[in-house]
């Protein structure tokens, strides 16, 4: 009775804090890490310093406010940071030299993306989200480094993935989009979604051969609905943090928005789509958990060799 009374007296905030440290098997955490590392390497192939000689504006990153322009414009440092990212990401994916490889991956990605931003005439928002998620996963491997070492060979059954890892993943994605919507409302008000600016952008930069492009240019109402809808969807993304039931609808809406932007303007957002699918869609976790019984996936997650190396088929 005393234990029950103490549980009832416990505040909702205390219960929430306790739930964040409830451990679980790390399968989905590892799969989400692999997807995240693939995205980080993927987007780093799109970077360049082609506009390094252009006039610079205000810094858009923390490192841009700290490092001198000569450092941010260094092609050698830019290339080294990219190769360091790729090598460290590979080590982290294979759980080599952890947690150091995780922090090196995060640092190399942040430096590389910052150098790209500071020498670009515009801002590529899609490079922000991987940095946030890399930091969260690096913290996971740092805090549970002893548990990872102790669980070597039986990783899937070890309770070494605290609930704060997937929760902070959801929080980061939802906050990233939520702030984007709020900033549109703050700077432009409701007039931001009037459809006129979208028509102007599409007239200047859009793909004239795509059906949706012509439809938007011909009908301002369509432009207004799509533009306002994007702002509303982004602003409501905060709800994904606390309302799991609406998370799927918001995730699918964000995916549709990115697909529409990519086909209309040719701006690649496939990397963001991958992160939304992995961290917001509950289907992804269910699929991964269903595949958990597959021997191939289990071997990769636990770092064990395949049949024919030092284990006969049917064993293990």
> pLDDT digit string (tens) for 32-88?
999 999 999 999 999 999 887 777 777 777 887 888 888 988 999 999 999 999 999
DSSP assignment of 246-276: HHHHHHHHHHHHHHHHHHHH----HHHHHHH
Q: Enter the pTM of the model.
A: 0.85
Burial class from Cβ neighbours inside 10 Å (0-12, 13-18, 19+) for residue 165 reads buried
Tokens of 41: 């390497």
Q: What angle do CA 313, 296, 91 make, to 5 degrees?
A: 120
Q: What angle do CA 139, 140, 143 make, to 5 degrees?
A: 80
Q: By C-alpha distance, which of 105, 106, 123 is closest to 64?
A: 123
Task: Name the band, by pLDDT with cuts 50, 70 and 90, for residue 309.
Answer: very low
Look up residue 152 and give its DSSP letter.
Answer: T
Tell me what the mean pLDDT of segment 223-252 comes to. 92
Domain boundaries, the chain: 24-162+289-304, 166-268
Least confident of 98-112, 166-180, 257-271: 257-271
> pLDDT digit string (tens) for 278-287?
999 988 888 8
159 touches 23 (CB < 8 A): yes
Cα–Cα distance measured from residue 168 to residue 170, given in angstroms and rounded to the nearest whole number: 5
Residues 31, 35, 174, 165, CA torsion sign: positive
Q: Is 97 left (phi over 0), alpha (psi -120 to 50) or beta?
A: left
Cα–Cα distance measured from residue 221 to residue 224, given in angstroms and rounded to the nearest whole number: 5
Higher-pLDDT residue of 107 and 152 is 107
């Amino acid at each position: 009775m005393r234990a029950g009374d103490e549980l009832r007296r416990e505040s909702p905030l205390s219960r929430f804090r306790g739930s964040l440290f409830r451990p679980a098997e790390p399968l989905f955490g590892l799969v989400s890490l692999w997807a995240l590392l693939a995205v980080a390497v993927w987007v780093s192939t799109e970077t360049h310093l082609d506009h390094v000689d252009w006039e610079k504006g205000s810094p858009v990153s923390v490192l841009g406010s700290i490092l001198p322009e000569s450092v941010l414009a260094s092609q050698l440092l830019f290339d080294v940071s990219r190769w360091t990212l790729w090598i460290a990401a590979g080590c982290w994916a294979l759980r080599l030299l952890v947690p150091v490889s995780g922090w090196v991956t995060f640092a190399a990605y942040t430096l590389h993306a910052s150098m790209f931003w500071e020498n670009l005439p515009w801002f590529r928002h899609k490079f922000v989200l991987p940095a946030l998620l890399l930091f969260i996963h690096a913290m996971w491997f740092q805090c549970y480094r002893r548990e990872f070492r102790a669980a070597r060979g039986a990783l899937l059954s070890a309770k070494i993935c605290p609930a704060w890892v997937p929760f902070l993943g959801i929080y980061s994605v939802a906050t990233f989009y939520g702030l984007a919507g709020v900033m549109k409302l703050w700077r432009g008000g409701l007039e931001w979604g009037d459809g006129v600016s979208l028509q102007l952008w599409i007239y200047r930069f859009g793909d004239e051969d795509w059906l949706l492009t012509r439809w938007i240019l011909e009908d301002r109402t369509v432009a207004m609905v799509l533009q306002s809808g994007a702002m509303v969807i982004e602003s409501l993304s905060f709800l994904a943090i606390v309302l799991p039931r609406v998370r799927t609808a918001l995730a699918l809406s964000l995916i549709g928005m990115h697909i529409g932007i990519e086909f209309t303007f040719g701006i690649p957002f496939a990397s963001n789509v991958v992160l939304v699918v992995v961290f917001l869609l509950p289907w992804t976790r269910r699929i991964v958990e269903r595949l958990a019984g597959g021997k191939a996936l289990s071997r990769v997650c636990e770092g064990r060799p395949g049949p024919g190396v030092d284990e006969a088929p049917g064993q293990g």
